[in-house]
Amino acid sequence: NAGVTQTPKFRVLKTGQSMTLLCAQDMNHEYMYWYRQDPGMGLRLIHYSVGEGTTAKGEVPDGYNVSRLKKQNFLLGLESAAPSQTSVYFCASSRAGEGNQPQHFGDGTRLSIL
């Protein structure tokens, strides 16, 4: 099994451009997450989803949108990229549970906004 796959792995954008990051999981997990990781700040939750067709805001949702049209896919969109969105983005998924289910992570997308 591939687990959690993120595409693309690297991308450079100009300020104002838009793009979509794709996350796909093959573990039939109910929950999916998008985080960003910046030096000294750990992981910050952007948006998450507890099931197909549902999404919710995390800690730092501004400037991002998400969609979960299929259970296995979770898309993260940047409508108008800004230099402050330069970061490493991680997708994760987990089974539904009583908070005791670990999250499984992809290898990240390194995004630079010029």
Binding site for other proteins (CB under 8 A): 4, 31, 40-43, 45, 48, 50, 58, 90, 92, 96-100, 102-108
Between 35 and 85, whose beta carbon lies closer to other proteins? Answer: 35
Nearest approach in angstroms of CB 19 to other proteins is: 20
Q: Do 80 and 34 meet the contact criterion of CB atoms below 8 Å apart?
A: no
Cβ 34 to other proteins shortest distance, Å: 12
* 3 and 60 Cβ atoms separated by less than 8 Å: no
40 Rama sector, left if φ>0, alpha if ψ -120 to 50, beta otherwise? left
> Which residue, among 65, 71, 33, has the nearest Cα to 52 in the 3D structure?
71
> What is the smallest separation between the CB atom of 10 and other proteins, expressed in angstroms?
10
In terms of DSSP bridges, do strands 10-13 and 109-113 run parallel, antiparallel, or are they unpaired? Answer: parallel
Nearer to other proteins, 14 or 42 (CB): 42
Q: Which is nearer to other proteins, 4 or 113 (CB)?
A: 4
